[in-house]
Amino acid sequence: MSATSGNASETIIANNQTLLNINMSNVTKLTLTNYLMWKLQVNALLDGYALADHLHGSATIPPNTISVGDVTSENPDYVTWKCQDKLIYSALLGTISLAIQPILSRTTTACDIWSTLAQTYAKPSRGHIRQLKLLKNWTKGSSTIDRYLQGFTTGFDNLATLGKPNEDEDQIEMILEGLPDDYTSVVDQVEGRDTPPTIVDLHERLLNHEAKLLSAAVSPSVPATANMAQQHTKQQQLLWQQITQQVSQQWCLSATLATDTTPQQQPWTASLPWPLPILQCPRSLGL
């Protein structure tokens, strides 16, 4: 037996037959909630290597022995099939999470794994379907649009797998019903159309509206220079009022003490220079 490694798989030569050890490291591990996507990934990968018949049991399995006259011996074609199936069986187990592997303890072939998982996760049951139909109670809340739509699409896909798909129009209606009031404009636009949009189109519209809402929620900050300018202006106005009041009081005091008891009041305060560093008596200023 010899083996050559490649980027995607390993080619094994056994009994002059070529076997493939499929690399499934890029396949998302099967969990309790992603059976549909796991199934699509694995089926597409093995179909690309013309080995999907090991999953579906569609290929004829060679007899394990052959007889020539009175001599019975192991069938080399069966050995080749069995070796290839075990390689696929092992690769499949590697793509299944530890929480699920125990239900596969009695399986012996790749087809056994495939059918056991299908009976467990793709068998329509009233309880499972009823649970998935609770999608109509799914609301956006504080979730992002991406997370909100992901919850719906996963549920829709699972219902389709169970043979209970939702109509496209019903899917769009359920998505719209779970949106908050901030998205009323988008809901009105969609409901005003003669034909409902696709989920992809609706997803794009909702993402754009979400971006607008996030942008509007960020209040524009006033530049620091503007704040300083406004504060400085207020300080100037307050200081100017204090100065004019003090000058007016000094003018009145000077007028009272002067020999000329009837001084002529000039409108000098109106043309007081800015700033006024020293407060002087109006008479000393020659007024």
Helix (H, G, I), strand (E, B) or coil at 180: coil
DSSP string, 38-98: HHHHHHHHHHHTT-THHHHT-SPPPPSEEEETTEEEE-HHHHHHHHHHHHHHHHHHHTB-T
Rounded CA-CA distance 176/184 in Å is: 9
**Residue 9: phi, psi to the nearest 5?**
-155, 175
Helix (H, G, I), strand (E, B) or coil at 17: strand
Q: What is the pLDDT along the chain (287 residues), one digit of tens a residue?
A: 545 544 567 887 776 778 999 999 999 999 987 888 899 999 999 999 999 999 999 888 999 898 888 888 989 889 999 999 999 999 999 999 999 999 999 999 999 999 999 988 877 676 666 766 678 788 999 899 999 999 898 888 878 777 778 888 989 999 999 999 999 999 999 998 888 899 999 999 999 999 999 988 875 554 544 454 455 556 556 655 655 565 455 544 444 444 444 444 444 444 444 444 444 444 444 44
Does the global pTM surpass 0.85? Answer: no
Rounded CA-CA distance 121/35 in Å is: 7
Instruction: Give the DSSP H or E segment for 254.
Output: helix 224-257
What is residue 236's predicted lDDT score, i.e. its pLDDT?
A: 58
What is residue 87's predicted lDDT score, i.e. its pLDDT?
A: 95
Domain boundaries, the chain: 2-121, 126-217, 225-258+269-287
Cα radius of gyration (the chain): 42
What is residue 277's predicted lDDT score, i.e. its pLDDT?
A: 43
Burial code (b: 16+ CB inside 10 Å, e: under 16) for 81-90 equals: bbbbbebbbe
C-alpha angle 65-104-80 in degrees, rounded to nearest 5: 25
Cβ(166)–Cβ(156) below 8 Å:
yes
Cβ(268)–Cβ(284) below 8 Å:
no
Helix (H, G, I), strand (E, B) or coil at 227: helix
Closest-CA residue to 20 (of 85, 115, 107, 114)? 85
What is residue 134's predicted lDDT score, i.e. its pLDDT?
A: 74
Rounded CA-CA distance 168/195 in Å is: 10
What is residue 144's predicted lDDT score, i.e. its pLDDT?
A: 94
For residue 241, what are the CA distances in angstroms to 83, 186, 223, 232, 253? Answer: 100, 55, 28, 14, 19
Rounded CA-CA distance 151/80 in Å is: 44
Cβ(43)–Cβ(55) below 8 Å:
yes
Helix residue ranges per DSSP H, 95-162? 110-121, 126-132, 145-161
Peptide bond preceding 275: is omega within 30 degrees of 0, i.e. cis? yes
